[in-house]
Structure 1
Amino acid sequence: MELITADDVRAAETRLQGQVVRTPLTAGPPDGPPFLLKPESLQPTGAFKLRGATNAVALLDGAQRGTGVVTHSSGNHGQALAYAAARHGVPCTVVVPEGSPKVKVDRIRAFGARVVTVPPDQREATARGLRENEGLALIPPFDDPRVIAGQGTVGLEILEQSPEVRTIVVPVGGGGLASGVATAARTVRPHHVRVVGVEPELAADAAESLRTGSLVTWPPERTGRTMADGVRVCLSERTFAHLRARLDEIVTVTEEEIAHAVATLAHGSRLVTEPSGALAAAAVLTGRVATAPGRPEETVAIVSGGNVDPEVFARLVA
């Protein structure tokens, strides 16, 4: 499996100029270990997914732009692709698994996309069927080099914004963000920055895959137990290859720790964060990822998204 390179990420960074927000580094909660946050929740669509989707849409040829694009997504990538496609005048279809947060599905529709709802285990097959039957260009949420390169720009920005960074902590679902960030860190500043992935204990397929050395896929009824709906998907062969080669470590957090992180980021850092987006911070807050005393700039936790159901958020921060 051919891996993307730092040049791919740099090329994506050039394409994304003026198309996505260069999110800042902000202070972590004051009552806890010293670290910084990279709030991708501040993107126009509320999550880092806008980077990969925008890069992929920018690389479509003329025929593909005319016919349209399709993807499968629990919400954030669907929103991102719908937004990016609309900005480029490209028709968009999003296959959404049943049970996806209503707030995310409503926003996909608001951006002008057609929504097709199916059982969770049929999402990929349905998207492939639409590609074949309607001639749509498939832009997967993570199993695509264009998408991975776009997500990697998060890592490039962190390296530029905090030259002293030594550890970048990133949530892992399908692995696109972690693959891109690890590529940026390993190829731009090898031996100086480690990248640590974080999964919920209830959806730890990547941790098992990396531990056993072979790709392991958990069924939807197993990953569906976690409140972190954005990471209920499993790695692909492509993202597994990237993480096996470039991710330094992977840790897991409990549901209670995820909930605590959502509340802590809200009260301590004034950030609205969905459970998936709080994974990296949860790993730091619990001490599973060590920090340097008095050196917050050395550890950066990526807040991957803030598209949380209002009722869920209210319950978690109460």
Structure 2
Amino acid sequence: MTEAGTMYIPTLEDMLEARRRIAPYVHRTPVLTSRILNELTGAQLFFKCENLQKAGAFKARGASNAVFGLLDEQAVRGVATHSSGNHGSCLSYAAGRRGVPCTVVMPRTAPQAKKDAVRGYGGRVVECEPSLSSREAVFAEVVAETGAEFVHPYNDPRVIAGQATCSAELIEQVDELDAVVAPIGGGGMVSGTCLTLSNLAPKVRIYAAEPEQADDVYRSFKAGHIIADDAPNTVADGLKVPLKDLTWHFVRNHVTDIQTASEQEIVDAMKLIWKRLKIVMEPSSAVPFAAILKNPTTFAGRRVGVIITGGNVDLDNLPWN
């Protein structure tokens, strides 16, 4: 890893090592296409289906890299994190595969399906209020109690190196991409995408997409410094967290643009993908496609990778019902 100030920036070598480390524990996920969606957008879209990943989300990559990279004396105390859902369930999955305990601090408003997933993989859920300040305060208590290794959901070099393996697969599966679009909350997937593409496919433009009602990354990008919301409200529950210093490094240095979508645009895009691709994906995963629909001139005539980040949705509480 290279050092920038007090941060350690993961390198291409870290991604390659992560890929070797996590290979037994994650899927090489498929890429789907749709003639109808191509005609609708005027672009050639290639959907990288991380909703079909282990534990139902791309975060199995970063979590597995962090857990299986621990020394035995670290792992015995277990791991802990705070998460709105997918990182928590993925960390529980990875911890379970290694046979170590996992505690996840989750907002009480997190989807029940995601709380159940954490518990289903053997993790312990500790609830907090749906704000960043409450999340961090409760988490501090958990770490003091357990001594567990903190695996941050996104602002962690081990996690970013793991997430970077997704785009490494994508550029092997699809030749000559012009752009990649991924959803952004804290920026773990986008940072991993930046890490891989800036080294292996530097001509590919990287776009991040986020909800209008949680547009702190968009405002940060325009302002040139991090602007954080404490408790944004959006149907895309996985994108409510703010940037941190490490993910901001990748965003400001490698992302071409940040695009936003309204709540209705996100729900409509999600429904359209369910209908045309016949796959289950969550609202956060629909934000990139919503942004493509909203900005057709940016993507028309181009070969575009679209990362569908997760499929852990509460089937009893779909957003169009």
TM-score of the two chains, using structure 2 as the length reference = 0.93
Aligned amino acid, residue 9 of structure 1 = M
Could you say which residue in structure 2 is the equivalent of 1:218? 229
**CA distances 1:186-241 after superposition (whole Å, capped 9, x unpaired):** 11122x10110000000010111111011111121xx1x21000001111111111
Alignment of 1:58-137 (within 5 A): 58-121=68-131, 122-137=134-149
Alignment of 1:169-318 (within 5 A): 169-190=181-202, 192-220=203-231, 223=232, 225-287=233-295, 290-293=298-301, 298-313=303-318, 315-316=319-320
Q: Which runs of 5+ in 1 are unaligned?
A: none
Quick check: 1:29–1:265 contact (8 Å CA) kept in 2? no
Aligned amino acid, residue 200 of structure 1 = P
Quick check: 2:8–2:157 contact (8 Å CA) kept in 1? no
Aligned amino acid, residue 207 of structure 1 = Y
Secondary structure (helix, strand or coil) at the match of 1:120 reads coil
Report the CA distance between 1:38 and its aligned residue.
Answer: 0.6
Report the CA distance between 1:289 and its aligned residue.
Answer: 6.7
1:155 maps onto 2:167 in alignment: yes
**CA distances 1:250-285 after superposition (whole Å, capped 9, x unpaired):** 110111110011110011111111100111111122
Could you say which residue in structure 1 is the equivalent of 2:150? 138
Mapped to 2, the partners of 1:3 and 1:251 lie a distance apart of 25
Aligned amino acid, residue 39 of structure 1 = C
Report the CA distance between 1:291 and its aligned residue.
Answer: 2.9
Query: For this pair of structures, how many residues does the alignment match?
Result: 309
Aligned amino acid, residue 23 of structure 1 = T
Are the structure 2 counterparts of residues 285 and 119 from structure 1 closer, same or farther at C-alpha, using a change threshold of 3 Å?
A: same
TM-score of the two chains, using structure 1 as the length reference = 0.93
Quick check: 2:82–2:104 contact (8 Å CA) kept in 1? yes
RMSD over aligned Cα atoms: 1.5
Could you say which residue in structure 1 is the equivalent of 2:18? 12
Report the CA distance between 1:28 and its aligned residue.
Answer: 3.6
Mapped to 2, the partners of 1:41 and 1:80 lie a distance apart of 12
Could you say which residue in structure 2 is the equivalent of 1:165? 177
Mapped to 1, the partners of 2:296 and 2:94 lie a distance apart of 36
